[in-house]
Amino acid sequence: MPPKSRTVRVAAFRLATFLPFRLVAASDSVYREFAENYDGSLNLTIPEIRALAVIAEHGTLSPTAVGQLTAMDKVKVSRATQSLVAKGMLSQRQDPGDGRSRLLRLTRKGVATHARFVPLATRLEAQVFDGLSQAELNALGRILTKITTRLETTGDGEPR
């Protein structure tokens, strides 16, 4: 590439309009909003909330499945689930199909905590998307699905 052309491209780059940055910034803003507005009575971190929510939705899960369903790495899943076990919100047992793995399930305390979390999450979602029409929300959902699907597959359509 000729040096002049490259210089023009570099000079034209603006972080504020770079879509990947905007997605991250929007995500960070939502997390901050949640952290600032929920009353803290749940005593949970965001990774713990994500793990609790996905286990509540799916029932019994392995840590690997929790990671896949929450887009969290192994270390984050391990810390979150171990903390939830220590707090009495999850129980764990050995996976009969894989002696090296374990299965996680909500305890009564976990079910009760999840029930307290849901209204907070619903309220946050309403605040974040207030002013968007249903058509805009549907379009956003489709776009996010398309982006995620694209990023989770290689160029030939095969999963990474």
- The pLDDT of residue 157 is above 60: no
For the chain, the domains span 19-128
Mean pLDDT of the chain: 88
The H or E element containing residue 94 is strand 90-95
Give the tens place of pLDDT for each residue, 40-96. Answer: 678 888 899 999 999 999 999 999 999 999 999 999 999 999 999 999 999 999 988
Q: What is the CATH number of domain 19-128?
A: 1.10.10.10
Q: What's the rounded mean pLDDT across residues 9-16?
A: 80
Judge if pTM exceeds 0.85: no
The pLDDT of 100-126, averaged and rounded, is 93
Residue recorded with tokens 């901050």: 32
Q: Cα(61)–Cα(54) distance, rounded to whole angstroms?
A: 9
Query: pLDDT value at position 8?
Result: 57
**Which pairs from 67-72 meet CB under 8 Å and 24+ separation?**
72/47
Q: Is the pLDDT of residue 4 over 70?
A: no
The predicted structure's pLDDT at residue 152 = 83
- What local confidence, expressed as pLDDT, does residue 63 receive? 95
Q: What angle do CA 93, 94, 98 make, to 5 degrees?
A: 150
Give CA–CA dist 160/154, Å, rounded.
6
Q: What is the pLDDT of residues 137-148, one digit of tens each?
A: 999 999 999 998
Tell me the CA end-to-end span of the chain in Å, nearest whole number: 31
Whether 39 shows a pLDDT value over 70: the answer reads no
